Amino acid sequence: PYAGGNAFARGREAGSFAFFPALADYEQQVVFKQMDRQEIKPFDQCIIGLDVGSTTTKAILLRTTDDAVLASVYLRTNGDPVGASRECYRSLQAQVQVPLKVIGLGTTGSGRAIAGLHAQTEGVVNEIIAHATAAVHFDAEVDTIFEIGGQDAKYTYITNKVPSDYAMNEACSAGTGSFLEEAAKEAMGIETSEIGDIALRSRRAPNFNDQCAAFIGSNIKTAIQEGINQEDIVSGLVYAICQNYVNRVKGNRLVGKKIFMQGGVCYNKAVPVAMAALTGKTIIVPPEPGLMGAFGVALDIKQKLRLGLLEEKTFDLGVLAGRGVSYGASFICSGAKDKCDRKCVINQIIIDGRKYPFGGACNKYYNLRKNLHYNAEELNYVALREKLIFERYVRMPEQQVRNGIKVGMIKSLMVNTLYPLYHNFFTQLGYEVVLSTTAAAEGMEKKGASFCYPVEQAHGFMEDLLKKDVDIIFLPHVMGLSVTNGIGASVTCPFVQGEPYYLKTAFPLLREKTVLSPMLYLEDGAAAVRNTFVEMAASLGHTPGEAERAYNAASAIQEAAMKEMKEIGRVILQELRDKPEKIGIVLFGRAYNACSKHANMGIPPKFASRGQLIFPWEFLEFDEVAPVHHMFWATGQMILKAAALVRRHPQLFAAYITNFSCGPDSFIVSYFRDAMGQKPSLTLELDSHTADAGIDTRIEAFLDVINSFCHLPTEGRAERAAFSIGEIDAGTVVTEDGRRISLADQHVEVIVPSMGAVNARLFAASLRYAGVKARSLPPSGEHELSIGRANASCKECLPYMLVLGSILNDLRQRTETHKVHVYFVTDSSGPCRFGQYHISLKALLAKQQVKNVAVLSLTAHNGYAGLGGRFQLRAWQSIIIGDVLMEVYSALLVLAKDKAAAKTVFNKASAAIEQSIATDDWDGLKQTLKRAAQLLGQIPLEGALGDTPKVALLGEIFVRVDGFSNQYLAEKLAEKGIMVKVAPIAEFVSFCDYLLQNGLYHVKHGLMTRMMSKLKTFFKQYHERMIKEIIAESGLYEVHMIDVPYICGNTKHLISPRFTAGDTTLTVAAAVNEIIDEVAGVVNVGPFGCMPSRISEAIISERIADEKISVTHDRALVQKVLREHPALPFLSIECDGNPFPLVVEAKLEIFCLQVDCMHRVLQKHKQTHAG
């Protein structure tokens, strides 16, 4: 049966809240560790661990023989790290009544440097390493640390013992202990010590969501008014603190197999239990969360002493406590020698009569104190790459600029790689090239959606360029890049491809200038776009000969720049071979984030100032490395090829710069970490708010771990044997042990994950029609999402996690493990992420060594798995029927007098259709559709379809049809009397056909394939019309045929049909074409971080009203409506699997009011028009 009406079966009851499961059900997933405390014995050998934080300072005495804590202290720092340290030494001394031998002292925390200077110790360790060391001590499998304190919340991810990612809360306190304490006390008078026991007695916790603390008070009042008891409300608060942490602090960062949770809130046992419930992971809680930094730094010092990385030194607690300090005057660092203009404030501390400067963003004054001398400029090859691109290979022709015309370019995205080609082409033709110099803040604020940091900068660079006196702006659509020894597709990401479209939308001034936006697909190298440049030059009045000469010269210069990079890389590797004790840091990322001084937050100089050679991955010679299967992103291909070289080279280690909301990296970073195997790597995720101190801490941790890794015996780095799941070969499953079984074999079952309840069931029926045993999975919900998140990095988009969770849940319930399960997962050749779903799923199943399982993707390239034309036509019919039934159901949600009875009839009709699709021929199926239409037409209605206000639900194909993903928007709007028309899945299929037939897709097809596709389209359209006309007899559906060429043609100036990322082109086209003519409003939905959806949002939100007047069959009507309602109703929503926050609910409420107003305006003018 169709599950759409049971939207809230996952736990939402009548009232304002959905509900979480009881905390008590998850208590077994939390492990509370014990710390060994023993009596101090005379002459025990000990290490002091000192954690100097901004608010508190902690210290312990660790006995080296058994890691027992002999004494400890926890006190306030009070703004004086040295004073707090001395007080800790006094306290430890007071607890010791026998003589001890202290052989080491380690400091950590934000005050570690100054505390280390005071103690005169070399054991200064950053807090990430210290906390990671403590965590691994309690459980070697811990790879994630959640820390929630009274005011701060932090996240650390550990990869091969390296803290490879780190984050902390900003201003919001809703993910901290103070939030929980204040909410419980102020709203219900409950003391902090009581919260845990009360929350664990709850049986159903209301979902207050992850919203700001300011809204919690009103939610609590609402819960009380609705009769929710105290235990449940308190449990809801506990869930809320964890939700806020997961969504706002951890965000979409990785969560590993086991989570180590610390901080003061962990004394409240309900909090780690709630975290276990939300993450689906085992939570490990230390015995004394506040001491973990001090404990960890002591363990780290012990390890360094054992490895010979530190020398033993005697420390006396009395001497340390009595050592005073004074402070000299601070000064501003000139940075002259290092050509730095950051002007850091440098402090001075005087200890035992000696003055020590400390502070600053780089390691300069640490190096001076330690008498270390590095030439940072020579070690930083990343800066050299930037000079190659923007200086050394930018050449002026012998003749002077002769035409006086200036061509402007912005220093964004692919310009950071292709600038020599661009610049030299135009200068050879006699133009002066003007390059933007800064990313202006006011331009970055003009972005039309939540873009990644490099795209924000692109807006800033455009703002800067528009202030310059330029005549022409060169803003190309770069579709792909050349990858030697790559795969068939090598595209750029949607944000790179979409640059000319969202910038033209954000900056109306561009529409008044000459903007050149040629399509550049460089898969076959620079020669592949020669004609494109020649045609562009012709539009400027140049002859083909002039243009070809200019292009050939520019292309040769671009190639020379790339060649020099490889030559420099060879020199670097030879230098490392000559000095086997040295290491090299290979910087991974994109040219526009990792290798741009505007975007990389000074990370290369930070490594260089610490004496580390750092160079870009492009300097490595990786052409001969085999490509990774189906990695269609060009940069991703090259990154993973280079990663394979780094993994094998004993002296190379990788640092990877990525950005928040980077779509490709949501998959590539996981592949990259897998490619590194047991070798440490560092991932730094940046945005415009990334703090300098956090970067420094992670870099220091990374270098510390590399040092330890290099001292480990090689036998400790063994790799697990590879395992491969089954593969599909034509119509046969080849199992992991080599057996070949037909897809039609009764021991094989094809399983279709839900993608809209009706659609998945009907598609599975079409497989049964082709002789394959097939079934569909039920719609996903909270449970499947929890499983998906627990087995993914959580950076991937929502559809992937739901599909993954539903498949893994199905496998858990499998009883006949000898039978083969084949899971159907869609495929594409990019640039959208969903083309990686089946690859990532295969990799995960292989990691888990699941037997008798395979993944099926149906494409023209694999011959549709040998299922033939019989299946293809039936599958098309099932898609059309599914789309139409979805619209019928939406109509019933609004119009049916008895909604429950209507749902029963609908389920009966759809079940009959499903059976007919699986068993009947075309004539039989038509008869079934007619009977279903008659049955549906008998449902009593309380209004006419034509008089019902409608909105178009557009956007990402999975989220728009999946009720759980979009939080049941169809049901929500139906309660307001608004019918939702979901963009049909068949429209996307038709769009793919359109691209193939017109040679617009980046994967090229032969003439015969294109002609056959056109012939199939003729038959598809016949069946589409027949199905739609039959079901329209029910009175619940209005026939509207799919016409991709028409709607895309109307908006091709906004976004080219060759922009093939997901549903962007169709979403923009449908929004502009359907508003006013067919619907009274448009909703664009997508998963959180969806690149195509964000581009759609940026374009539609700015252009829908302006464009509508030229895209309509009734211009007079549109003019009248726009005069009365100039702001057309449009709403864009990102979905992450959680209930919508209050701000989105408020926007939705306003949107519904706008739709109602628009509908009334439309009805009035249509009646006048008809009259």
Is the pLDDT at 655 greater than 90? The verdict is: yes
Nearest one of 773, 652, 777, 774 to 706, comparing CA atoms: 652
Residue 34 has a pLDDT of 79
- Domain with 357, as residue range(s), is 326-372
Instruction: Please report the sign of the dihedral spanned by the C-alpha atoms of residue 273, residue 277, residue 278, residue 282.
Output: positive
User: What contacts 1090, CB < 8 A, 6 or more positions away?
Assistant: 663, 797, 955, 956, 959, 1062, 1134
Query: Hunting for tokens 């046969």 — which residue is that?
Result: 732
Decide if 6 contacts 37 (C-beta within 8 A): no
Decide if 587 contacts 652 (C-beta within 8 A): no
Residue 244, Cβ neighbours under 10 Å: how many? Answer: 28
Residue 409, Cβ neighbours under 10 Å: how many? Answer: 23
Of 106-110, 487-491, 581-585, 1166-1170, which has the strongest mean pLDDT? Answer: 581-585
State whether 1094 and 1115 are in the same domain.
Answer: yes
Residue 1006, Cβ neighbours under 10 Å: how many? Answer: 8
- As a residue count, the chain comes to 1171
Amino acid present at 428: Q
What pLDDT digit, counting tens, does each position of 1083-1139 carry? 999 999 999 999 999 999 999 999 999 999 899 999 999 999 899 999 999 998 888
Please give the residue that has the higher pLDDT: either 700 or 473. Answer: 473
Q: Where does the pLDDT of residue 690 fall: very low under 50, low under 70, confident under 90, or very high at 90 and above?
A: confident
Nearest one of 193, 154, 150, 181 to 55, comparing CA atoms: 150
State whether 584 and 702 are in the same domain.
Answer: yes
Among residues 841, 865, 889, the one where a domain terminates is 865
Task: In whole angstroms, give the CA distance from residue 726 to residue 735.
Answer: 4
Residue 13 has a pLDDT of 46
State whether 449 and 347 are in the same domain.
Answer: no
Residue 640 has phi, psi (to 5 degrees) of: -70, -30
Residue 1012 has a pLDDT of 85
In this structure, is residue 878 part of a structural domain?
no
**Range 113-140 average pLDDT:** 88
Nearest one of 893, 958, 990, 953 to 1075, comparing CA atoms: 953
In this structure, is residue 955 part of a structural domain?
yes
Task: In whole angstroms, give the CA distance from residue 800 to residue 837.
Answer: 6
**Range 494-503 average pLDDT:** 96
Of 196-200, 649-653, 669-673, which has the strongest mean pLDDT? Answer: 649-653
Please provide the distance, in angstroms rounded to a whole number, between the alpha carbons at the two ends of the chain: 44
The token duo for 664 is 């490709």
Of 184-193, 227-236, 1148-1157, which has the strongest mean pLDDT? Answer: 1148-1157
Range with the lowest mean pLDDT among 686-695, 739-748, 909-918? 686-695
State whether 297 and 334 are in the same domain.
Answer: no
How many distinct structural domains can be found in the chain? 6
Eight-class DSSP state of 252: T
User: What contacts 366, CB < 8 A, 6 or more positions away?
Assistant: 113, 358, 372
In this structure, is residue 877 part of a structural domain?
no
State whether 984 and 1029 are in the same domain.
Answer: yes
What pLDDT digit, counting tens, does each position of 512-566 carry? 999 999 999 998 887 889 999 999 999 999 999 999 999 999 999 999 999 999 9
What pLDDT digit, counting tens, does each position of 28-39 carry? 999 888 776 778
Decide if 57 contacts 42 (C-beta within 8 A): no
Task: In whole angstroms, give the CA distance from residue 678 to residue 676.
Answer: 6
Residue 99 has phi, psi (to 5 degrees) of: -70, 140
Percent of the chain with pLDDT over 70: 92
In this structure, is residue 134 part of a structural domain?
yes
Q: Where does the pLDDT of residue 827 fall: very low under 50, low under 70, confident under 90, or very high at 90 and above?
A: confident
- Helix H or strand E segment including 565: helix 544-578
Is the pLDDT at 961 greater than 60? The verdict is: yes
Residue 813 burial class via C-beta count within 10 angstroms: exposed 0-12, middle 13-18, buried 19 and up: exposed
Is the pLDDT at 863 greater than 60? The verdict is: no
Among residues 827, 848, 865, the one where a domain terminates is 865
CA 852, chain centre distance (Å): 31
Q: Could you give the C-alpha distances from 655 to 286, 458, 665, 669, 698, in angstroms and in order?
A: 30, 24, 14, 11, 11
Q: Where does the pLDDT of residue 212 fall: very low under 50, low under 70, confident under 90, or very high at 90 and above?
A: low
Nearest one of 820, 819, 824 to 803, comparing CA atoms: 824
Please give the residue that has the higher pLDDT: either 330 or 569. Answer: 569
Decide if 281 contacts 790 (C-beta within 8 A): yes
Decide if 409 contacts 478 (C-beta within 8 A): no
Nearest one of 430, 400, 418 to 555, comparing CA atoms: 418
In this structure, is residue 554 part of a structural domain?
yes
Phi-psi domain of 113 (left: phi exceeds 0; alpha: psi -120 through 50; beta: other): alpha
Say what the pTM is: 0.86
Is the pLDDT at 171 greater than 60? The verdict is: no
User: What contacts 794, CB < 8 A, 6 or more positions away?
Assistant: 250, 252, 253, 254, 255, 801
Range with the lowest mean pLDDT among 382-391, 767-776, 1059-1068? 1059-1068
Task: In whole angstroms, give the CA distance from residue 653 to residue 297.
Answer: 24
Orientation angle between helical segments 192-200 and 177-188, nearest 10 degrees:
80
Residue 644, Cβ neighbours under 10 Å: how many? Answer: 16
Residue 1005, Cβ neighbours under 10 Å: how many? Answer: 16
The token duo for 483 is 């990858």
Max CA pair span of the chain: 105
Amino acid present at 594: A
**Range 297-312 average pLDDT:** 93
State whether 1147 and 1031 are in the same domain.
Answer: yes
CB-based contacts of 864-867 (< 8 A; 24+ apart in sequence) = 865/728, 865/730, 865/731, 865/743, 866/730, 866/731, 866/732, 866/743, 867/731, 867/743, 867/767, 867/770, 867/772
State whether 958 and 1053 are in the same domain.
Answer: yes
State whether 338 and 294 are in the same domain.
Answer: no
**Range 766-779 average pLDDT:** 95
In this structure, is residue 335 part of a structural domain?
yes
Among residues 263, 280, 307, the one where a domain terminates is 307
CB-hemisphere CA count at 13 Å for 670? 25
In this structure, is residue 750 part of a structural domain?
yes
Please give the residue that has the higher pLDDT: either 439 or 246. Answer: 439
State whether 549 and 585 are in the same domain.
Answer: no
Nearest one of 617, 1086, 1152 to 833, comparing CA atoms: 1086
State whether 256 and 122 are in the same domain.
Answer: yes
Is the pLDDT at 102 greater than 90? The verdict is: yes
State whether 523 and 576 are in the same domain.
Answer: no
In this structure, is residue 905 part of a structural domain?
no
Q: Where does the pLDDT of residue 680 fall: very low under 50, low under 70, confident under 90, or very high at 90 and above?
A: confident
Is the pLDDT at 367 greater than 90? The verdict is: no
Is the pLDDT at 3 greater than 70? The verdict is: no
Residue 624 burial class via C-beta count within 10 angstroms: exposed 0-12, middle 13-18, buried 19 and up: exposed
Helix, strand, coil share of the chain (percent; to 5): 50, 15, 35
**Range 458-487 average pLDDT:** 95
Query: Hunting for tokens 């926890």 — which residue is that?
Result: 74
Task: In whole angstroms, give the CA distance from residue 1164 to residue 1158.
Answer: 10
State whether 975 and 1030 are in the same domain.
Answer: yes
Residue 933 has a pLDDT of 97
Show the DSSP H helices in 334-396 as ranges: 364-369, 376-379, 381-387
